[in-house]
Amino acid sequence: MTPKMNSVGVIGLGSMGYGVATSCIAAGLETYGSDIRPEVCARLIAEGAADASTSPAAFAGRLDAVILLVVSAAQCEEALFGEDGLAPKLRPGVPVVISATIAPADSRRLGARLAGMGLPMLDAPVSGGSIKAGKGQLTVMAAGAPETFDAVAPLLDAMAEKVYRTGTQIGDGAMVKTVHQLLAGVHIAVAAEAMALAARAGIPLELMYDVVTHSAGNSWMFADRMQHVLDGDYTPRSAVDIFVKDLGLVNATGDSLSFPLPLARKAYELFAKASEQGFGKLDDSAVIMNYVGSELPGTRDN
C-alpha cells in the first residue's frame, strides 16, 4: 500500500512554482519551498508554508515528495545533484516530480540518475500559466510508473485540473510538452505578426482583438497574449527568453528525429531576434517588438 503523502517541497518559486506552492498550501499539504530569492521564500512562509529557504537541506528529510519548477535541465541537475543538491538528502523512495520544460533525453537522463539513488521520478511538465497555477488548475502531461502516480496523487490533485498519463516511460511527458510548445510558440509569434499588421494598416487594435477572439482565427494564446499588447503591459508572466529556450528544444528534438519543423524554426528566429534586441526578459508577447514602425500601446516607436 502506498504511504499517504502529507508534505511536499516545491523547488523554484517563479510564477508557476509559487502558484503551485500556494495551491498545495490551500489543499492542506505541509508545504516547503526553495528559491534563490530570500524575499520570495519569506513571502511564501507568510502565506502559510511550513518553511522556505534558499537551500532545502534543512527540511529535505521531512518531505514525502518533491516537485521541481525551475527553468532548465541544468537547473534541475544543480538542484538535485549539485554541491548542495537535494537528492542525496531525501529519504529512499521519495518521488521526484520534474515539471520543468526540458528535452526528453534530459528527462530520461535525470530519471535514470534518480532511480540509481532509489528515488522514483514522474516526468510531469505543466501548462496553464501563473494564474491557473495559483488556482490549482494546471494541465499536467506526465509519464512514470503507476505507483509513482499513486504516491503523488495529493500533489497532482492540489495543482492540476487535468492530468494526462502519457505513458510509463520517462521522457514521454517531456515529448508531449515539446509538441505542445511548438504550437504555443508559433501561436504567439503569428498572433504578434497579425496584430502588428493591423497596427501598420491603421486598424484599431481593440477592434482587431475583438474580431479575432470571436472568430475562427482565435487561439488561447492570441486571446491571452494579445491582451498584454492591448494593455501595453509586458510584465513577464512567461518571458521571451523562455520561448527561445523552449523552441530551441523543439527544433533540437525535430533534428534528432530527422523531422524538419520550418514553422517552429521561424518562430524561434523571431523570439531570438526579440531577445537580441533587449526584450528577452519581457513577457513573451514582446516578440511583437520585431515589427518596427507599428504604433503599439505602451510604446513610442517600435
Within 99-137, strands assigned E span: 121-123, 126-127
CA angle (191 as vertex; 190, 193 as ends), nearest 5: 60
DSSP 2: P
Furthest CA-CA distance within the chain? 65
Catalytic residues: 177
Q: At what angle do helices 205-213 and 172-200 cross, to 10 degrees?
A: 140
CA–CA gap between residue 71 and residue 36 (Å, rounded) = 13
Contact predicate 103/73, CB 8 Å? yes
Q: Coil, helix or strand for 7?
A: strand
Contact predicate 290/271, CB 8 Å? no
Tell me how crowded residue 27 is: count the other CB atoms within 10 A of its CB.
15
What is the DSSP secondary-structure string of 211-247?
HHHTSTT--HHHHHHHHHHHHT----SSBHHHHHHHH
| Residues contacting residue 46 through CB under 8 Å, at least 6 positions apart | none
